[in-house]
Amino acid sequence: MKLCVLMGSPRREGNTAALLRPFLEECKTMGVDAETVWLCDRRISPCQGCKTCQDVLDGLGCIQEDDLQAVFQAMLDCDVIILATPIYAFFCTAPMKALLDRVIYAGVKNYGREKGPRLLEGKRLASIVTCGYPPEEGAGLWEEGLKRFCRHGGLEYMGLFCRRDWGGREPFMNGERERAVRDFAQAIQLSIREAEL
């Protein structure tokens, strides 16, 4: 199994990165190959809404020349896409939002002269997030957005792992959080194995 982790945080030593480290360690222990793409290191411009992509049925077809094609290829080459992001204003960070806008629009050929494929259909998607509110309040809109993204794009939604930052009143990482995010990695692997039996 291969994972593509799309990291939306601008902070390499932040809370989301802290959760991601034991998750990736657990994946490696299980023999899962993982590639991490830091979106803040990539140039992905916002969607222009020009619809040019809709008449290119065998690829993204976006007219913008930036790093989207390389990131999208990493998504195509994996079995599971992991979206890792802190929650800002009740949704993901701006680099991840720009990526998702373009991927779902250029990747679902519903709006051109001829209806075409959903380029990520059949992929699996899960998310690891951090927020400053109780998870159901802080990450609820994000999770609903992910579920709709998956339905529209034909992906299988595999769940959300979220932990709250208490604003420095206590260390963000602890034993419970590390064990829980490792369990999340194992649950994804187990779910895929059971589906393939």
Give me the half-sphere count of Cα atoms (radius 13 Å) on the Cβ side of residue 109: 20
Identify the pLDDT of residue 187: 97
Q: Mean pLDDT of residues grouped by 10 in the chain (197 residues)?
A: 96 97 97 97 97 94 96 97 96 98 95 91 98 95 98 97 91 97 97 85
Identify the pLDDT of residue 122: 97
Identify the pLDDT of residue 196: 81
Identify the pLDDT of residue 108: 96
Identify the pLDDT of residue 178: 98
How far is it, in rounded angstroms, from Cα 35 to Cα 28? 11
Identify the pLDDT of residue 152: 97
Identify the pLDDT of residue 121: 97
Burial per residue of 92-116, b for 16 or more beta-carbon CB atoms within 10 angstroms, e otherwise: bbbbbbbbbebbbbbbbbeeeeeeb
Identify the pLDDT of residue 65: 95
Identify the pLDDT of residue 171: 93
